[in-house]
Amino acid sequence: MEQPYDSATPDAVFAGGSRGGPPGGPGPAAAAPARVLVVDDDPTVAEVVAGYLDRAGYRVDRAGDGPAALTRADAHRPDLVVLDLMLPGMDGLEVCRRLRDRGPVPVIMLTARGDEDDRVLGLEVGADDYVTKPFSPRELVLRVESVLRRTRPAATPRPPSAAGLTADPAARRATKDGIELALTLREFDLLVFFLRYPGRAFAREELMREVWGWDFGDLSTVTVHVRRLRGKVEDDPARPRLIQTVWGVGYRFDAAGRQAG
């Protein structure tokens, strides 16, 4: 049975200590393999993660610190970044901020910490997902595949819109009153979901299942993303009228909220 990653026993990453890649499994389309940038100062972790991603069909770049990661990202724009939180010098949070300043790119944060505050900080600066060490490389590959699938949705005949907000899944573009919004991958998916189901209350568990595609997980992930999305779509985020809290249930998108204000 495959064991999770443990920095003290790197060979435990693979079944039987083997450094072979995953036996098959879905990967990106061969015609256009996605480029993934792996950023970790531990060469063993970077080698393991890069090896699994390479064998899953991805083009993989590697960097051992923050400045090198930004240089790599400028030279070859990644489709996704796997980013360690605890980097020397410029930490993963700052790297994530700078990557987001350069344009939209999905980020999966790796962290050896189990503290909720660290996970929330990563989500606050724009990370789309996180994986806590020790982790299964196969699980990480599945997370990468899941995030990338959401960046390539099927085109919809009519982008959902309400209350001056429009989200076009095919173009991955959202606007408020005609002005483009700078949303992360998950923020965009969350907005699309709310726009498609106005007036309906959803529990955080439902949002995690429908938007993230997870049957379980840390529900603070949903809370953080709702707060960040409110900060970008509400006229007054301190008094949200569009994405409303339904006490004891979860959240509801009120398409008439702006008019009510």
163-187 confidence digits (pLDDT tens)? 999 999 888 899 999 999 999 989 9
| 15 pLDDT higher than 50 | no
pLDDT of 201 above 80: yes
The answer, as to whether pTM is greater than 0.85, is: no
Give the tokens for residue 113. Answer: 């910490």
Whole-angstrom Cα distance, residue 244 to residue 261?
13
- Tell me the β-bridge partners of 165: 162, 176
Write out pLDDT tens, residues 105-127: 899 988 876 666 666 777 777 78
Domains and CATH numbers, the chain: 10-150 (3.40.50.2300), 161-260 (1.10.10.10)
User: Which of the two residues, 129 and 30, has the higher pLDDT score?
Assistant: 129
Amino acid of residue 168: D
pLDDT at site 32? 63
Widest CA span in the chain? 62
Residue 159: per-residue pLDDT: 82
Give the pLDDT of residue 157. Answer: 56
pLDDT exceeds 80 at position 225: yes
107 three-class SS? strand
What pLDDT is attached to residue 86?
A: 87
